[in-house]
Amino acid sequence: MKLHQTLLAATMLVAVAGCGKKRPAQLPPPPLQDSATGTDQGATGPQTDANGNVIPGSDADFRRSVSANTVLFGLDQYDIDATARAILDSQAEWLARNPRVRVTIEGHADERGTREYNLALGDQRANAAKNYLAARGVDAARMTTISYGKERPAALGSDEDSYAQNRRAVTVVPN
């Protein structure tokens, strides 16, 4: 009888363990188009006025005015290199001209690694970009960060070119 109870308990544990994680009820909105790479990246909403002119302070104005809204990172890295500094410098200049605009900095990773690792790495990348912008004079209270880890790839594929495009931080002007 003891063996029967042990098997029953083990079966129940396996059944309960299979009920662990569930997909979130609501997925984040799809990304927008990156000004430099043409890949999808961020916010949605009206970007032009009734005459078709880009609204000053909008995400479209931001993407049109900066060298890029995306900085890329090396494998397992979140340091800001010279290319990223140039991009973030142009973003800091735009933010200085638009002092009431708030931004969200999204951190992303490629598909390699665990979900938890990639969320943490995306967070480090977003915060590295935020800290750089803050050091350039942008008020940290105007910036929020979010990590999507590997959940929103810019490029689909399991090759180094795709991985390189997915290791990024994207600055978005929410509407």
Domain architecture of the chain: domains with CATH: 49-172 (3.30.1330.60)
pLDDT tens by residue, 122-156: 999 999 999 999 999 999 999 999 999 999 999 99
Partnered with residue 72 across adjacent β-strands are: 168
Tell which residue, 108, 111, 116, 121, has the closest CA to residue 158.
111
The bridge status of strand 103-108 relative to strand 143-149 is: parallel
Q: What is the C-alpha to C-alpha distance for residues 87 and 75, in angstroms, rounded to an integer?
A: 19
Residue 46 has pLDDT above 70, yes or no: no
pLDDT tens by residue, 64-93: 999 999 999 999 999 999 999 999 999 999
pLDDT band per the 50, 70, 90 thresholds, residue 48: confident
DSSP label at residue 11: H
Rounded to an integer, the average pLDDT of 35-54 is 58
Which residue would you say has higher pLDDT here, 47 or 152?
Answer: 152
Contacts with 22 (C-beta within 8 Å, 6 or more apart), sequence order = none
Q: Is 104 helix (H, G, I), strand (E, B) or coil?
A: strand
Q: Which two tokens stand for residue 162?
A: 């795709």
pLDDT of residue 22: 47
pLDDT of residue 98: 96
Residue 161 has pLDDT above 60, yes or no: yes
- Please state, for a pLDDT cut of 90, what percent of the chain lies above it: 66
Residue 34 has pLDDT above 80, yes or no: no
DSSP 46-79: --B-TTSPBPTTSHHHHHHHSS-SEEE--TT---
pTM above 0.85, yes or no: no
